[in-house]
Structure 1
């Protein structure tokens, strides 16, 4: 099934049209970044490179230097520049200043222009899910670090009903869903779904009725776990996962649920070998690299995200030719146990199937990148414990060992201790001993 009737012309662009558009856009944005982003100018000067040397996409990939979050932080601290050398604040155009999440370090300020690239993408996503002028949208963004920008939905005639992320807000969101019958929920997250699950168990309210008007929900913060996907499927509540496109924009699944769409009029994406830093072919695992094509306020150029991904530029069943990518995990989170590569998302599905640990609160305790034994710290709900803690530990040990085939040591702790580190979707999944 395809959905060409709901796609904008740029979303229906052919591969050749997208390549031509990107080549022209890269010429413009690299010139702007060279002139207005001190960090970009510094990196390009060090490489002996000027924007005039970039005459094609191939030139850009071969010649343009990479920038990563550590470069931004170093410039910020060295030059006392809040934006990390990524922008000059333009009078009358700086609408808000947000920050990155700080998941892999301290948050980095991000100035936002009159039109935020993420708004453009999410408006398309919400339209694709099925929202139309006159509809209501449940707005429960898990942080407001991006600033209070909701112009995109208003411009297409969608009214937002806003809630904060808190247990006491769940009842209000359920009531608002029954009263106003919204079409889309944005954003759902692991904490929200866990709170909804608990609310329905406690009250007996029928989730199928609550979500009967919804055509979908945008889910973010971390990968949607297998248990929570099955749970929301049972509610008739379709989740569309979203992720950050390297702090340049967002990227969301379409109804094919076959990867995140990177809108290629907004960003140019590529993948590189995490060690050699050389390009890898589409279809192979590499570190995702993103370049903005539209953001004048924060013109990130060849930004190495630290995310391991597989890029697919084949046409999608939704009618788009824009690239899709699948995130495998963060390069910094990958560990080797007896030569076997392990990423946190493998652990999540094994932990959450037990009633006592259904919140999937765990950490891999890393002593070094290559280890002889996988060490896990798993949080459990003391109120749901139906056996001894030692029996639960042995149950987890046997199941995870059987699935992964590596030596394992499991430490059980009260999940409230892990929650002191942050909300469930922001707890560091890999930690040092």
Structure 2
């Protein structure tokens, strides 16, 4: 692409980065059209030929790719190469139907290791550090993604995998791990187990907590950093694009750098499909620019975020995405009011008297919806529950124009914990 091996693409002037992106967009659209029957049909149906796409500005000519397209072409109908060229298979969880099968060529794995290594470096980690990998190994992309990237950097990897939390704590203490990667909910659970075992999480040797795979509000990040006395760095990715490594924070913690030379981002209005103005919130859409086994054009992630094209204080010029505020398909409608669970969480966790654990229960009573909110108190709370419940109700009403039917404050540890992986916060009984 005309960029030397020793050039840091993440710090190029935006115009030079755009030249690389335009070239790669032309190549990937042509490649997908010629090698994936699904894309040949989709572009033909849209009246678009690859020659019509001269750069990123022309991506709007193309139709979107959705998770339903992956399921309709299950298992390998979206692949652009023969299986003999695929050396790794991963898959999404498939909790709502058939899993999305994703494949990697040898070059794809090289790209994955590269973008993961960028993320580790941005988080201040080096080959001298030890990473404890608490993501599950297997079809889920998290375990192998972090493992291979850390190995490429030269880090020592402790592949503890998911679960077995007491052993996780022992390994952290005994091996002196500098960093750990895991979901934010599991990070907080790990701190609780450490305390139950007689450890002060803040005394563990961790300097960096790399979290991702589920939404995390700023109060949750603050709690993770406080409990472990470490820097918490957010990661973003999804199996259909590559896995973890699509975007990651640097130590400035002002948004996750998207590696734009490999993944081109757009933000659209989820209802109209049109691009929104710079800095406006919408649904993130991603196009892979260098994938071989599974090129993906304009994939609707369902994740709501904003993009910041300003140069980061770290010197990187690649765009930064904000933390995901919700999912376009997770919108809750209760008595005609639209909101996302993360909005409720952000408001509730403004109160220092509560811990970052909550659950929302939705029920239908007759023809009306009912929403009950349960929130845990902090260990040192000694005030009036009724008074605090009233303040939470009032704050929610002021910010969201919505008041829960019930707000219950419960003792620490009352809400069910997940021992590994992602936590369910919304229970829709309707």
**Shared fold, TM over 0.5:** yes
1:313 to 284, 309, 312: 309
Match of residue 25 from structure 1: 24
The question of 1:123 aligning with 2:122 is answered no
Deviations 1:308-360 (A, max 9, x none): 22111111111111111122211122235577542211222456689998462
Residues 86 and 331 of structure 1: is their aligned pair in 2 closer, same or farther, counting only changes over 3 Å? Answer: same
Tell me, yes or no, if the aligned pair for 1:194 and 1:359 is still in contact at 8 Å: no
CA distance in 1, matches of 2:130, 2:339: 42
Question: 1:422 & 1:203 partners in 2: Cα distance?
Answer: 16
Whole-Å separation in 1 of the counterparts to 2:363 and 2:40: 37
* Equivalent of 1:96 in 85, 88, 100: 88
**Contact 2:165–2:190 (CA under 8 A) maintained in structure 1:** no
TM-score w.r.t. the length of structure 1 is 0.81
C-alpha displacement at 1:148, in angstroms? 3.9
Q: Which moved more, 1:144-153 or 1:267-276?
A: 144-153
How big is the shift at 1:231? 3.1
Match of 2:340 among 343, 367, 380: 343
Alignment check: 8 A CA contact 2:283 2:303 kept: yes
- SS, match of residue 66 in structure 1: coil
Alpha-carbon deviation of 1:90? 2.9
Q: How does 1:419-430 map to 2 (within 5 A)?
A: 425-427=422-424, 429=426
Distance (whole Å) between structure 2 residues aligned to residue 243 and residue 430 of structure 1? 25
Structure 2 distance, partners of 1:96, 1:258, is 34
The answer on 1:153 being equivalent to 2:145 is no
Does the CA contact (< 8 Å) of 1:286 and 1:310 recur in 2? yes
> Aligned residues, how many?
406
2:302–2:328 Cα contact (<8 Å) kept:
yes
* CA pair 322-221 structure 1, distance change in 2 beyond 3 A: same
What SS class does the counterpart of residue 294 from structure 1 fall into?
Answer: coil
Tell me how far 1:38 sits from its aligned partner.
2.3
Q: Does 1:69 align with 2:67?
A: yes
Q: Which residue among 174, 177, 182 is the counterpart of 2:172?
A: 177
| Aligned position for 1:3 | none
1:4 aligns with: none
Do the aligned partners of residues 195 and 175 (structure 1) sit closer, same or farther apart at CA in structure 2, a change above 3 Å counting? closer
> Which one of 396, 403, 413 corresponds to residue 404 of structure 1?
396
Task: Report the counterpart of residue 222 of structure 2 in structure 1.
Answer: 230
Shift in Å, 1:291: 0.2
Rounded to whole Å, the distance in 2 between the matches of 1:89 and 1:194 is 42
Q: What are the Cα deviations for residues 380-428 of structure 1, in whole angstroms up to 9, with x where unaligned?
A: 79xx9x99xxx96x67753432111123223879999985999673426
* Aligned 8 A contact 2:215 2:325 in 1: no
Deviates more, 1:39-48 or 1:228-237: 228-237
CA contact (8 A) 1:36 1:88 kept: yes
The 1:280/1:364 distance shift into structure 2, 3 A limit, reads: farther
2:268 to 262, 268, 272: 272
Matched, 1:141 2:135: yes
Q: TM-score, normalised on structure 2?
A: 0.82
Q: Mean alpha-carbon deviation: is it higher for 260-269 or for 336-345?
A: 336-345
**CA displacement at 1:143 relative to structure 2:** 5.7
1:191-249 Cα offsets, whole Å, 9 max, x none, are 2321322322x2332323313xx441211132334554333333321110122258314
Distance in 2 (CA, whole Å) between partners of 1:372 and 1:94 is: 52
Deviation, 1:300, is 0.9
How far apart, in 1, do the equivalents of 2:387 and 2:421 lie? Answer: 23
